[in-house]
């Protein structure tokens, strides 16, 4: 099992300090040579894009943010990534991808992009006191799961019983009791998926009915393995001392009564926040804040030569393999764009 400190140490990076910049001071900052392609993000999408653009002799510059390797670095085992029949440690998978990208000429730098200017060529990305110039850009900044913030959640996240992905981790809880926190379609889908493995699934929601669509709500509430825990909010994750989840402490918002659900796994399903902030002013986004690709494409944006890939543009699947596929597509589109425009 890997912990966050280990992930940072192995990637030899420190968390950068965010710096606010205004467009008016861009000309005072140091600038670099014009890169063929700059890839922002080092999850499955970003690293796959780095592999493909590296093999195309484009010498991509890859910018690592505060979590090098993305969310998979906090996952103890990945069982559903093709090519690993016995599973693979999430941190090791990302390390492998990074080494493969480096082999093909990808260059890595730690940089937190705080603003961009895509109104002219070359494209400009501001990171600290530096302006990075690029002919093309692939944005693969991912999305962050919304967490409840209750005591014990952070300590037991990632291989210790608290997770945000039933598809990724559900199989680890065969014949165990688990809890899902949330009341929307995502929570209902997570709960239904978990019934394939768990003995019992507690669906904890602060209201007396689900916010999910009627069909999803009906499926969840009528399933014999799902126990709806209405009018309840989570208070704490128990089991920190033992290093593994042993229960979920909850409170009934109407009666004030507190109790503990004896579960081994807790699935937080209250949504995700796409990491699109610095780019949202220039790239089209949907109502949820996710990048909205141009018509007829999964990766092209409204700005020529700028592409998106992975969870920052995908709120439906959110899987490592689909993110990698989008990274591949974005890289191929980038190579073609450069070939057509004299890159």
Contact present, 214 and 242 (Cβ < 8 Å): no
Residue from 44, 168, 228, 312 carrying the catalytic annotation: 168
Residue from 44, 89, 165, 177 carrying the catalytic annotation: 165
Confidence at residue 74, expressed as pLDDT on a 0 to 100 scale: 65
Confidence at residue 306, expressed as pLDDT on a 0 to 100 scale: 98
Please say if 169 is a catalytic residue.
yes
Q: Between 266 and 169, whose confidence is greater?
A: 266
The pLDDT tens digits of the residues spanning 44-68 come to 999 999 999 999 999 999 999 877 8
- What is the phi/psi pair of residue 186, to 5°? -60, -45
Contacts from 214-217 at CB under 8 Å and sequence distance 24+? 216/185, 216/188, 216/189, 216/192, 217/188
Q: Which two tokens stand for residue 235?
A: 């208070």
Residue from 44, 89, 169, 177 carrying the catalytic annotation: 169
Equal fold, 4-144+272-340 vs 147-268: yes
pLDDT above 80 (res 222): yes
The pLDDT tens digits of the residues spanning 33-46 come to 999 999 999 999 99
pLDDT above 90 (res 328): yes
Q: Which two tokens stand for residue 88?
A: 């693979």
Q: Look up the pTM and report it.
A: 0.76
- Residue 57 DSSP SS3: coil
Contact present, 185 and 193 (Cβ < 8 Å): no
pLDDT above 60 (res 16): no
pLDDT above 80 (res 71): no
Largest CA distance in the chain: 68
The residues spanned by each domain of the chain are 4-144+272-340, 147-268
Q: Which two tokens stand for residue 161?
A: 């019983």
Mean pLDDT of 146-164: 95
The pLDDT tens digits of the residues spanning 77-134 come to 788 899 999 999 888 999 999 999 999 999 999 999 999 999 999 999 999 899 999 9
pLDDT above 50 (res 14): no
Hey, what CATH class is 4-144+272-340 in? alpha beta
Confidence at residue 76, expressed as pLDDT on a 0 to 100 scale: 65
Q: What homologous superfamily is domain 147-268 in, according to CATH?
A: FAD/NAD(P)-binding domain (3.50.50.60)
Please say if 284 is a catalytic residue.
no
Confidence at residue 159, expressed as pLDDT on a 0 to 100 scale: 87
């Amino acid at each position: 099992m890997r912990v966050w400190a280990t992930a940072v140490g192995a990637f030899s990076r420190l968390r950068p300090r965010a710096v606010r910049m205004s467009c008016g001071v861009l000309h005072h900052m140091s600038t670099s040579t014009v890169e063929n392609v700059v890839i922002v993000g080092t999850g499955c999408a970003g690293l796959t894009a780095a592999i493909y653009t590296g093999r195309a002799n484009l010498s991509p510059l890859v910018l690592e943010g505060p979590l090098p390797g993305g969310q998979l670095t906090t996952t103890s085992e990945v069982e559903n990534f093709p090519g690993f029949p016995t599973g693979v440690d999430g941190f090791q998978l990302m390390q492998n991808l990074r080494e493969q990208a480096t082999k093909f000429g990808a260059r890595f730098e730690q940089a937190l992009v705080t603003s961009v200017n895509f109104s002219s060529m070359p494209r400009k990305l501001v990171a600290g006191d530096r302006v990075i110039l690029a002919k093309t850009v692939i944005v693969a900044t991912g999305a962050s799961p919304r967490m409840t913030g209750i005591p014990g959640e952070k300590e037991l996240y990632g291989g210790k019983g608290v997770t945000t992905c039933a598809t990724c981790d559900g199989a680890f809880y065969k014949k165990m009791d688990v809890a899902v926190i949330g009341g929307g379609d995502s929570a209902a889908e997570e709960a239904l998926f978990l019934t394939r493995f768990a003995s019992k699934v507690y669906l904890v929601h602060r209201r007396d009915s689900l916010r999910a669509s009627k069909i999803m709500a009906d499926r969840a509430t009528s399933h014999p393995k799902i126990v709806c825990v209405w009018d309840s909010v989570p208070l704490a994750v128990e089991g920190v001392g033992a290093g593994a989840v042993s229960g979920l402490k909850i409170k009934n918002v109407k009666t004030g009564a507190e109790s503990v659900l004896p579960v081994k796994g807790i699935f937080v399903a209250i949504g995700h926040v796409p990491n699109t902030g610095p780019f949202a002013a220039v790239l089209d986004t949907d109502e949820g804040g996710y990048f909205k690709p141009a018509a007829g494409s999964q990766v092209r944006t409204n700005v020529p030569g700028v592409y998106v890939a992975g969870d920052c543009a995908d709120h439906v699947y959110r899987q490592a393999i689909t993110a990698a596929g989008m990274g591949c597509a974005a890289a191929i589109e980038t190579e073609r764009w450069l070939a057509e425009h004299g890159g």
